[in-house]
Structure 1
Amino acid sequence: MSSTEATGEVADRPSRRRWVRVVSGTVVALLVAVLAIFAVRADGEPVHDVAMTDGGVWVSGGRTGHWARVSSGAHAFDVVLDGAGDIPEQDYRAVPGERSPGHVRTPDVLQDGRHAVGVTSQGELVGFDTRTGEALEPGPTLPERAPQTGQLYFQPDIVDLRGGTIAMVDSTDGQVWAVRLDPSGRADLSGLGPGAPTVADIGGSAAVAVDVTGNVKAVSAETGEVVDIPVEGDGFGAPERTDVEIDGIAADITAVGEDWVVMDGASGEIFHEGAPTEPETLPDGGQVGQEGTGLVVAALQQPGPEADRVAVQTVAGTAFVDLAESVGGEQPPEIVSGLDAQDRFTRQIKISRPVVLGDCVTAAWGRASSILHARACEPGSTGVSQISPAGDTGRRAGVAVRYNQGQLVLNDLETGRVYDLALPTDELRIDTWPVPATRRTPSG
């Protein structure tokens, strides 16, 4: 694997070395002071352990076979890594307007603060050393997912990273592994996967999430069991177990603060740690009735800070579900996609996990020939904006909303295109991937 970073050279001039060192030390001191001043982001979220090597948000390159880091200041790639793997080609013209409900495996990336781990298209986990911008040797391979043949639904996560913890679950038998990561930014994954000690066993049709403090949450749709595995020192404590009444087919899980939230993939009912026997109702638009699959097409938000609500995305939009009776007050923001869950082209619509930051929610949908996205902060409904890249005629993978270190981008999981939402509408696209045929990183 190779990496590319901007580098510079200083001529060997002994008479100036002391001056250069003094100035460099002064600059470093000023930068540290600036980081201390901006220890709270504009969205009100506290910055945890911000290091000068943190760089920005990581993205995956889809069929380019790369990963990259987007510099938060330059709105451009400052590191490109090879080795993310190929995506198989597919002829969409075989059956016009239709395709297999199976999910193509694309490269992905997990991240939080200075920690980042790549996922290859073959399912290998690859730790990054974010201090040097280098990829480490490949680690464990993700277990095969529990089969859902013929089912159209949003696949829950079987690996997650947050709060200094990376966790993985075997969705077929419910074995859960987790390790604490080196605070310096070097991701050692040797404690994950078969052969390593498990932190819990919960049963099949399982999914996993990690909360903002590193505690591991996992659910089994087969057994109806939810486990909460707390961080203790450099490891984990005994699992805390709760039973919920779900239908045994599929389940999704996330966290708000340190509380888990679970969605029954069959009924759409939403259970939460504060009231595990009193489920909430899925917002309208989650069911794809004409398919007759019995599964909902809905995704819970990415794990985030403590809140009285959880965001849920469906084909029709993104809305909040109250988790406490006393929430009341103003109507929360809502995003309306304008898409019809009953449309015959529903299979070419890919939903994703929304991101909630303070009072704002950001969501994206992938369609055959476009990307829909919106950020809503004010009470009431918000419509979407559309990005229509040239040349797209079909979609096998969705669009990820990537967030890290105060930066938010959209990442097309199949093409690798990256859109920086902090830029003007006509300048959103920022990716500069190497040419796939050569698989070499650009210089400079």
Structure 2
Amino acid sequence: MTYDPVLYSRMLTELTFAFHIIFATVGVGIPIMIAFAEWSGIKRNDPYYLLLARRWARGFVITVAVGVVTGTAIGLQLSLLWPSFMRVAGQAIALPLFMETFAFFFEAIFLGIYLYTWDRFRKPITHFLLSIPVMLGSSASAFFITTVNAFMNTPQGFKLNNGSITDIKPLIAMFNPATPTKVAHVLSSAYMTSAFVLAAIAGAALLKKRESLYHRKALKLTMIAALIFSITTALIGDLSGKFLAKYQPEKLAAAEWHFETARQVPLVLGGILTEDHKIKYGLKIPFALSILAHDNPNSEVKGLNETPVAERPPLIVHYYFDSMVTIGIFLTVLSMASVWMVYKLKSVQYPSWLLKLIVLSGPLAIIGIELGWIYAEVGRQPWILRGYMKTVHGATTSTHVDLMLLLFCILYVAIGLTLVKVLRKMFKNSDVQEELKSRGIEGGPAQ
């Protein structure tokens, strides 16, 4: 096999992002859930919810530490693996990169204060207020770094003359056309995923201890949040489709295997694409792609044949897109069923089949995030900076990227195993019933 630095650079970057995005997602979403739990505890004078907030906060700190390591690796790899890209685009996106670091430090400072001031205020609401800057810092960090990715999809705010970047306008570059939908989708999906991950943990505990009131309250809170954010993510996803139809039509067309510009275009789920661009075994939803693109079943949707062959995204993105959408629909329906069972049926206990699906929802939500990111990045190919620089021209020419890939694989395996061991030990040695008793709470059967 011929050594290809571009291929290895892409593999290493993809590996790092795939690993980092898990911790980045929960790093953005968990603070929201912690705040929900503490607010519910204060409002209802319910110590169970307050204990939820305490325990979630302890686990959150560990994931933040891992997120810092992987985030640092991304910064390092941008400079080492993509020097030509950073030389051209780095100046235009320097502002959000700097602000992302500032937002993280802002979050870290208040997270430390939040963790070490439990029970130190006369009014519990004072401690809750400290969670607000933690939430703002984590979400702001996601906002700034997402604007960088948005810039790569719809670059503006600079001029490129003979390979040199001039007339830089950082704010215009930062607030590009992709920023609103990308930022909104990243934030809402992070909140949704975190809710499902915490719900899966509570569901697994309830499968073992069906009478646990603590875990039932945890599941109720997380599934309500999951429903809210699932619906929000779906609505923003619709806006993202309209953005793609206007600014990146080739990306939308590749996702739907839509080749000829036409009206009343169906949306295709699944299927197999033949060599002559015929779709077999796919489920076609009439008019759906025209509606997604322009809110009009008679609207015209640009086909992939309008794009030069050398600039078309890989057609495999169809499966990434379909899988992401399918997972999103499943999670939304599941959260609806869970909330309906609690409020409409007044069910005391969740049935085992529902708990098993809820346990499955955590990993599925993470997979959905991964698939969405892969679609976003692979769907932009062959561009690293759309319309200005192709990926092959932005990568390093170093002959040692394969060694870096091996070393980072070992690093991520070590970090992952250590994280699992630390979290298991932390919560195994911190029994819920013991904590309840230590705070004067009876953790008896659910009533």
TM range (shorter): under 0.3
Which structure dedicates a bigger proportion of its chain to strand? Answer: 1
Q: Could you say which structure has the larger radius of gyration?
A: 2
Given the two structures, how large is their TM-score scaled by the length of structure 2?
0.24
Which structure dedicates a bigger proportion of its chain to helix? Answer: 2
